[in-house]
Amino acid sequence: MQWTLAVPLKPLARAKSRLADTADDGVRPGLALAFALDTVAAALACAAVHDVVVVTDDPLAGRELAALGARIVPDGPAADPATDPADGLNAALRHAAALARTARPYAPVATLNADLPALRPDELARVLGAAAAFPRAFLADAAGTGTTLLAAAPGRALRPAFGPGSRRGHRRSGAVELVLDDVDSVRQDVDTGDDLRAALCLGVGPRTAAAAARLLIPGQ
């Protein structure tokens, strides 16, 4: 089974705000772009992935990710922030999933965060292989409260519920939590300086390695 992946990416100038103590305003957008490029490059190299749709309103990121082979779509209409606190992100994912389904109606669809710079294609293939057994499934992030991947079988709506505490939200929505060994690279999202150090220990892709080297992170 070959998947379409929808990867959401915030405009770079606003992305990765929780990394402000590790990377200042001048370098953070470049770091967020490096994470996204390494994430998407690894996803495109995964044997279980047919195509990657990046949903972003950022023109520079759009150009660079398109050059890797991703399809770029804009965020689309936002939902009502009163009913959905992660308004922008979940609306963007619903929009991307709908476009993906138009292009490939019988394909399974999964979302993957753009901040997984240590992502390994073989580990992603293992997660997608496990997800294929369920109508909807998800993988918790390394911190244990969020979600890095949400998957839906052909004909099933994704129903993304990303945002603070999304692990619990996805569980409550009926999605099956995937509990797998040796898929750390798919779970290690980077929100904080500690997350970045953990990702560097796992081994990041070349763009993140170069960007992180410029930050002179102790222990590198």
Ligand X SMILES: C=C(OP(=O)(O)O)C(=O)O
Ligand Y SMILES: Nc1nc2c(ncn2[C@@H]2O[C@H](COP(=O)(O)OP(=O)(O)OP(=O)(O)O)[C@@H](O)[C@H]2O)c(=O)[nH]1
Which residue ranges make up the site for ligand X (CB under 6 A)?
Answer: 141, 146-147, 162-163, 166, 189, 191
Task: For residue 22, list its beta bridge partners.
Answer: none
Round to whole Å and give the CA distance between 62 and 55.
9
For 149, the enclosing helix (H) or strand (E) is strand 147-152
Q: Closest approach of Cβ 16 to ligand Y, in Å?
A: 5
The residue among 57 and 122 lying less far from ligand X, judged by its C-beta, is 57
Q: Closest approach of Cβ 138 to ligand X, in Å?
A: 10
Round to whole Å and give the CA distance between 41 and 65.
9
88 is in an annotated binding site: no
Read off φ and ψ for residue 49, nearest 5 degrees. Answer: -105, 125
CB neighbours of residue 127 within 10 Å: 25
Report the interhelical angle of 28-44 vs 206-215 (nearest 10°). Answer: 160
145 is in an annotated binding site: no
Position 169: which residue type? G
Cβ-closest position to ligand X: 146
Query: Quick one: CA torsion of 61, 119, 173, 129, rounded to 10 degrees?
Result: 120
List the one residue from 4, 5, 6, 15 that touches ligand Y (CB under 6 A): 15
The residue among 81 and 155 lying less far from ligand X, judged by its C-beta, is 81
Contact region with ligand Y (CB under 6 A), list: 62-70, 84-92, 118-126, 180-188: 84-92
Q: Closest approach of Cβ 17 to ligand Y, in Å?
A: 3
The residue among 132 and 173 lying less far from ligand Y, judged by its C-beta, is 173
Query: Does residue 16 belong to the site contacting ligand Y (CB under 6 A)?
Result: yes
Question: How big is the site for ligand Y, counted in residues (CB under 6 A)?
Answer: 17
Q: Closest approach of Cβ 105 to ligand X, in Å?
A: 27
